[in-house]
C-alpha cells in the first residue's frame, strides 16, 4: 500500500517524544529531519534520520531548514511540533518575563514553524501539522498555570488553523499526552520567587511539583506517544484531537461532563493537598 507521508520534519527531535517519533517513522521507511538547537541525532545509526540545527524561536533558522528539505526531497508531507519546555511555580510567583519565556518556545516558536511550512503546504495542495500539546491543556494544573495556559492556547490555535487550512488540503491534529518519562522533567525551570522559602506558596508548590515530577518519571515511555502520532500520519484523515491512553481519554470526557467546581476540587485533591 502506498504510504501517505514520506518526508517529515520533527521539531524537538533530539530528545524525548520527538526523538521517539523520529526513530519510529524512520524505522517505517520515512525520511525524518530531526530539528533541535543542539542538532543532535536521536539515533546516529538510523540512515533515515537527518539531524538539523534549528532554534524554533528564530524564524530564519526554520525557513532555512525547510528550504533545505525542499531542495533535497522536493516536498515535505508533515511537520510534527514537539519542541517545548516547562516552568513550575505559582502564578503570583511568576514574573512576566518568566511567563513570556513559557509562551516563547511552546506557542510562538511553534507558530513560527507552522507559518514557515504553510506556504509550501499550500503550494503542494497537501500537508499535515501535528502539535504535541498536553493533558495540561484541558486540566488546569496548579503551580504550572502558565504551562497549562500555553497548551490550552495552542490547542485552540490548532482548531482555528484546521478550519482556515482545510481548503488547501492541509490537516491539523493536536496530540495531548499525559505524563511521559523524558528529559522534560529535568529541563523544567522553577521560577525565581517560587524557590524562596518566603513565598506563601513555597511548601505547597514544592510538594506539588515534586509529585508531578515523580508522576512524569513514572509515566509512559515516549514511544507510546510516537505510536499515536505515527497512526495519525498513516490515516487518510487525521483526527483533530488525540489523547493517548484510555485513562487520559476518560479524564478528557470527565472534564467535559463535570461542573467546573467539581473538576477544580478533584484537581486540588490531586495536586494541592
Size of the site for ligand NAP (CB under 6 A): 32
Nearest to 75 by CA among 141, 18, 5, 27: 5
Question: Binder to ligand NAP among 75, 85, 195, 223 (CB under 6 A)?
Answer: 85
Cα torsion at 86, 87, 92, 96 (round to 10°)? -90
How many Å apart are CA 215 and CA 210, to the nearest integer? Answer: 9
One residue of 4, 28, 48, 57 binding ligand NAP per CB under 6 A: 57
Of 105 and 194, CB closest to ligand NAP? 105
Nearer to ligand NAP, 199 or 212 (CB): 212
Counted residue by residue, the chain has a size of: 273
12 binds ligand NAP (CB under 6 A): yes
The gap from C-alpha 129 to its chain's centroid, in whole angstroms, comes to 12
- Cβ neighbours of residue 231 under 8 Å, at least 6 residues apart? none
Stretch of residues binding ligand NAP (CB under 6 A), selected from 89-97, 175-183, 239-247, 255-263: 175-183
Question: Is 191 in contact with 87 (CB distance < 8 Å)?
Answer: yes
Q: Is 16 in the site for ligand NAP (CB under 6 A)?
A: yes
Among positions 88, 109, 127, 142, the unique one binding ligand NAP when judged by CB under 6 A: 109
182 binds ligand NAP (CB under 6 A): yes
171 belongs to the binding site for ligand NAP (CB under 6 A) = no
Residue 135 phi/psi, 5-degree rounding, is -55, -30
Residue of the chain from 74, 119, 169, 183 that contacts ligand NAP (CB under 6 A): 183
Look at the block and give the residue holding cell 536521536: 42
Chosen residue from 7, 9, 10, 15 binding ligand NAP by CB under 6 A:
15
**Contact of 49 with 41, CB cutoff 8 Å:** yes
Cell of 167: 481548503
111 binds ligand NAP per the rule CB under 6 A: no
Examine residue 105 and tell whether it contacts ligand NAP (CB under 6 A): yes
31 strand-pairing partners: 7
Residues within the interface to ligand NAP (CB under 6 A): 11-12, 14-18, 36-38, 54-57, 82-85, 105-106, 109, 132, 134, 177, 179-180, 182-184, 187, 216, 219
Amino acid at each position: 500500500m502506498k504510504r501517505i507521508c514520506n518526508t517529515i520534519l520533527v521539531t524537538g527531535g533530539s530528545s524525548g517524544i520527538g526523538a521517539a517519533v523520529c526513530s519510529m517513522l524512520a524505522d517505517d521507511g520515512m525520511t525524518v529531519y530531526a530539528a533541535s538547537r543542539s542538532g543532535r541525532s536521536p539515533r546516529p545509526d538510523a540512515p533515515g534520520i537527518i539531524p538539523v540545527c534549528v532554534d524554533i524561536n528564530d524564524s530564519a533558522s526554520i525557513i532555512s531548514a525547510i528550504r533545505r528539505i525542499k531542495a533535497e526531497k522536493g516536498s515535505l508531507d508533515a511537520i510534527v511540533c514537539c519542541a517545548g519546555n516547562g516552568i513550575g511555580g505559582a502564578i503570583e510567583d511568576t514574573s512576566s518575563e518568566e511567563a513570556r519565556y513559557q509562551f516563547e518556545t511552546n506557542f510562538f516558536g511553534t507558530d513560527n514553524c507552522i507559518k514557515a511550512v504553510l506556504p509550501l503546504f499550500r503550494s503542494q495542495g497537501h500537508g499535515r501539522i501535528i502539535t504535541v500539546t498536553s493533558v495540561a491543556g484541558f486540566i488546569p494544573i496548579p503551580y504550572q498555570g502558565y504551562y497549562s495556559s500555553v497548551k490550552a492556547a495552542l490547542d485552540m490555535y490548532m482548531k482555528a488553523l484546521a478550519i482556515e487550512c482545510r481548503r488547501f488540503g492541509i490537516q491539523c491534529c493536536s496530540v495531548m499526552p499525559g505524563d511521559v518519562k523524558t528529559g522534560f522533567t529535568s529541563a523544567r525551570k522553577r521560577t525565581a520567587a517560587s524557590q524562596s522559602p518566603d513565598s506563601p506558596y513555597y511548601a505547597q508548590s514544592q510538594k506539588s511539583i515534586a509529585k508531578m515530577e515523580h508522576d512524569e518519571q513514572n509515566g509512559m515511555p515516549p514511544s507510546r506517544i510516537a505510536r499515536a502520532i505515527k497512526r495519525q500520519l498513516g490515516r487518510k484523515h487525521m483526527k483533530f484531537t488525540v489523547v493517548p491512553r484510555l485513562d487520559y481519554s476518560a479524564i478528557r470526557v470527565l472534564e467535559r461532563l463535570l461542573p467546573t467546581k467539581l473538576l477544580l476540587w478533584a484537581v486540588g485533591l490531586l495536586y494541592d493537598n
